[in-house]
Structure 1
């Protein structure tokens, strides 16, 4: 049956890679066929269907659930009715073939019970626009005739599978259906036919909306978007404030979107009314929450007034969300998961979305763009009429959805933390960036050179971004911090790592040598810390600042006046800032490495040759020389410094600030006193 699986995955990937067809991780595809049972040696009918939590666009064979059709269809005879249909999901496990592959999703019944070899269930914007129109059934008949059948809203589950199976049996000419408030389902005798039918429904709906829709369904423009530079500058200031508020119950990562779709929606008269109605498709509101927080001030309002209003609106949002929960919860409902918004809309500026990681935050924003497209289509031909609030609650706090959330892997120690690493493109900084990403952080790699290749290696824009920044330049540092705010919503962890060194005796050290090293390390660390602290204080959820100082800030070595003095300056900045920023929950600590020779940009840039000459050893033996003079007789590598940064910020030392951690394998002369 290899060909059946290959065709299914290829179809899923094609459909899922086009956002017009379905949203990220939304929908599912399936195929039926037979295979020899390894126990009996007899043919057995099987269903291959995308498993729970997978994404069609990136689906692989490992993401398929594999079930025996005879057992799945036999569940019809023991189905206890719609009031107990959730029990059927557990029964799917008894229908698995062999190991069964991925966990079966709630839509498995739909795919197994519909009498077609290939079935697609998708969430296209055009289909949902018809599905959420006030007169969706009439519009579906007008658009498709008897080729596509209307199915009234029903929560996904076993009963919906039975309903669609019956509709297909009763409508032999139909190629699929519009699911009220939800999406589409299509079928075919071959994989190609099912895909063609899916695309026919989607493209026909698109043409219908274009041909029959009225212009400007969101009403006239009442506020033009701000110019791009002003818009993004304002967004960078608002992002950490909004992230701090959205993290009231649990820390979140943020994402900013100012696409034309978003800006046009927010410029129109009807956006407050439509946003208040909330999203409709279950995949949408599970990620965007029942409705967004909408700022009700014009784009030209003073920024201070916007921030004050945002705080008021956030408090109101939390009260309203709690009331929503209390209106609909029962004794069996899971506890309220948090009352903060997932989507914040700011007219003239754009959309801020939040989630447990950068991908979740980004995808939440993408889902709201889907919702905007749906509202536009529905309003163009009718009026937007999403499913009732009570139905949204039933899905948001569905026990099956709660079980899916509980199956997620435990977050890594630095999950939801945003880090900025200066000098992050090579050497110690590169090792630190790698370790922070590995522990779950989102990282902004700041360096004099473009580090976009490294950011790509670290996982791309959902994990790391790069900025070119000279730490001696105030505006470039401010721009780097703004980049962190726009990329991930704010900043939690700063590593002052950028540095250089020139080894000369006192009488040969020029003023330029002195100024260069103090500009990069002493002044640069000050500028970075100041700008980061400004953001962290506005954000209001604390943070960490770590200085990569040096044992030379304590140890008096020869021919090292400028470097050693600059490092001593950094070392005392740690103490000064720890004392000043503690009231804001910002911890400031340092790491004092010994000479890191391997992988070091400083040593490769001439410092190694200079220090080797001072100590009278060949440059290639400098690392071994440093190791021999330590108590542990071990060479210090970039990874060891990265380990110390993680130890200081990973959560176990939550009550430690003003500390310097030696990473020197034991240099007695550099012991802290």
Structure 2
């Protein structure tokens, strides 16, 4: 059943959503999932029938640009404002978040966020709290208060850094009351808040604040705020940069996954490359990010490779390993400096952001979207540093305050509320022959179980269609590859590295077949089938093993072989022999790669007719002729000869692939699973 989005129940709700969408659609206004908006209005109390003053505010999580009614929390303002009478003080202000639940109105809606007090206690009917790069640049400048006054005069008030919470809401409410001429404020180390009597006025004030800050930074900013270009650190030409990124990413992903497996994202944008080419980038990167939204996703600071752009790859790899150990030690020391008995356990000491001069930024997270967003936030941080350094100097909040945010009990509670990861979460799968039939079904099953998928097929259109079906770039990418070409295979794995960080699970599924008697089988028939299946799977596995060894995270190779690898059927010598070759590759590679934690297994299907590219391409007609049945009845013919009398479908093969790789068969390698509904002649011995 298709889920229909809820419609706004109140005009102020509708206006709030429209405003949020406009503000969230422009990255200059706020970062992804950053900030919140609110509106106040009167509704009818369903119990008393009388009017009640409500506030609708973006709840915890979600993104302004795609906010829906169910993403809003609705609260009674009389109850919310009455909390000021029971507020126990700043040392216990976190207790107030639980109290927001007692102010909710009606069923459903989002959980109230930590910023709820900021919106509810301010006397204005509409409030926007946003994280624009221009506003944060002023908020993180060493003399931000003076610059704010010079930029806005009396229209915008400076509010010193305070951790988000109830007290910050009280502070901003006091600013609003004491400065009736003001349209908003700059929150030190944090962002901006603006207000208005109507939704239109609030949006206008928010945009005025953001654009005025942009113009101020542009007009007052000095040239080259990051210093001159450092010789040897210039951006590499695109082709060389992409090649180097693909070579380094599996190694870096393995390092960033020491504590928890991560998915990667690559950003080689001009802004990142320029930052890394400048003399001041080591100093600024060491200061870390400032806005809470930034460092919650990027960690307290990035790992920065301190070598020139064209340092030899082996030297770069060795140095990255050394820097990673230093980073882990430094992060543990950071945790130990600030942790108390009440602090949550350390979540992991690996970096979320790795910066490589000349190449760009590698970012990591629990899934592709999280990794991509982490990179986007660090790009925001670069723009903030640029603005702050242009007019002053970048001065983020104290490290101790960053720790208080990162290891906040409320943040820990938010993490605990997240759904359990799917079995293949953080795993990156490359499936050959993914454009149709068995490969398509495997790609769908692996994606449904949480994997990122590289859909590889000689038919580029088919690969693109499958990637789109799976949800697009955050879930799947297509690659056009002929598995007989070493160059195209290497390019496919390079694309997988740049898209997701590497590869953990490879399914050798690409294949063709020609059914002929021995006397009619040509050398070309033999070479073509062996070239795609025997040689192709060897080449794919060789490249997969290279990437997996570089990652140091183990992995899975799965061969879609066939019952024909052990069952001697008529008029099938080239196909059967190629499948037997694949079947023995499973045993040989299982024996060789086990020491690297790489498991190698196979699946032996019976003839899969429905949805099969091979059968649709002529193989079905040929096999039907061999057995003397109409082609349209070939599937039923295969089913009748099995012990279970069931036809094998693509999803049955996909189920076997998941069974081998989903986490329960951790000690199984060198195995072939029959998926043939019981063909006694193909029983493994």
Normalised TM-score (structure 1): 1.00
Instruction: Name 2:300's counterpart in structure 1.
Output: 290
Structure-1 separation of matches of 2:481 and 2:19: 45
Q: Which runs of structure 2 are paired with 1:656-667 in the superposition (5 Å)? A: 656-667=668-679
Q: Deviations over 1:579-617 (max 9, x none)?
A: 000000000000000000000000000000000000000
- Residue among 311, 328, 332 paired with 2:338: 328
Aligned ranges 1:179-578 → 2 under 5 Å: 179-222=187-230, 223-450=233-460, 451-578=463-590
SS in 1 for 2:276: helix
Is 1:54 matched up with 2:62? yes
Contact 2:39 2:125 survives alignment (8 Å): yes
Quote the offset at 1:2 in angstroms.
2.3
> 448-457 vs 278-287, which deviates more?
448-457
Distance in 1, matches of 2:406 and 2:10, equals 37
Counterpart in 2 of 1:643? 655
Q: Judge conservation of contact 1:418–1:492 (CA < 8 Å) in 2.
A: yes
2:6 aligned residue: none
Q: What RMSD over aligned residues (CA atoms) do the two structures have, in Å?
A: 0.5
Counting only pairs closer than 5 Å after superposition, residues 94-243 of structure 1 correspond to structure 2 as 94-222=102-230, 223-243=233-253
Render the CA deviation track for 1:135-163: whole Å, top value 9, x for unaligned.
00000000000000000000000000000
How far apart are 1:453 and its partner, in Å?
2.4
- Which runs of structure 1 show a deviation greater than 4 angstroms over 4 or more consecutive aligned residues? none
Q: Which residue of 1 aligns with 2:40?
A: 32
The match for 2:3 is: none
SS class of match (1:571): helix
1:412: how far off? 0.3
**2:12 corresponds to:** 4
CA distance, structure 2, for counterparts of residue 457 and residue 247 of structure 1: 29
In the TM superposition, what whole-angstrom CA distance separates every residue of 1:644-667 from its partner, at most 9, and x where no partner exists? 000000000000000000000000
SS in 2 for 1:150: strand
For residues 452-496 of structure 1, give each alpha carbon's deviation from its aligned partner in whole angstroms, at most 9, with x where no partner exists: 222112011000000000000000000000011000001000000
SS in 1 for 2:310: coil
Cα distance in 1, alignment partners of residues 436 and 630 from structure 2: 24
- Does structure 1 retain, via aligned residues, the 8 Å contact 2:434–2:466? no
Q: Distance in 1 between matches of 2:108 and 2:571?
A: 68
Runs of at least 5 residues in structure 1 that lack an aligned partner in the other structure: none
Counterpart CA distance in 1 for 2:466 and 2:603 is: 23
Contact 1:592/1:663, CA 8 A, preserved across alignment = yes
1:100 Cα deviation from its structure 2 partner:
4.8
Is the 1:67–1:100 contact (alpha carbons within 8 Å) kept by the matching residues of 2? Answer: no
Paired residue secondary structure (2:106): strand
Distance 1:300 1:461 in 2: 30
Deviations 1:407-455 (A, max 9, x none): 1010000000000000001100000000000000000000011222221
Deviations 1:178-216 (A, max 9, x none): 000000000011111100000000000000000000000
- Report if the CA contact (8 A) 2:456-2:480 is conserved: yes
Alpha-carbon distance between aligned partners in 2 of 1:669 and 1:409, rounded to the nearest angstrom: 45
Change (3 A) 1:665 1:100: closer
| d(CA) in 1 for partners of 2:605, 2:173 | 68
Aligned length: 673
CA contact under 8 A between 2:190 and 2:290: conserved in structure 1?
Answer: yes
Asked if the contact 2:435–2:465 (Cα under 8 Å) also holds between the matched residues in 1, the reply is no
Query: Which SS does the other structure have where 1:574 is aligned?
Result: helix
Tell me, in whole angstroms, the C-alpha distance in 2 between the residues paired with 1:665 and 1:449: 30
